Amino acid sequence: MSEKIVKLNKKFFFSFLIIFVCFLLDRCTKVLVINKFIYNDFKELYINSYLNLTLLWNKGIAFGLFQSEAIFYHLISIIIFTIILFIIYLAYKSRTYFELIGLSLVIGGAIGNLIDRIYYNAVPDFIDFHIGNFHWFTFNVSDICITIGLVQLIFYDICKNIKFKNNV
Instruction: Select which of 26, 116, 128, 143 is catalytic.
Output: 143
Give burial (CB, 10 Å; 0-12/13-18/19+) of 76: middle
Listed as own residue / partner, the contacts of 39-44 with beta carbons closer than 8 Å and 24 or more positions apart are 44/128
Query: For residue 153, what are the CA distances in angstroms to 15, 90, 163?
Result: 15, 12, 15
Strands 51-58 and 45-48, bridge-based pairing: antiparallel
Instruction: Select which of 26, 116, 125, 128 is catalytic.
Output: 125
- Catalytic-residue membership of 41: no
- Catalytic-residue membership of 26: no
Q: Just list the catalytic residues.
A: 125, 143
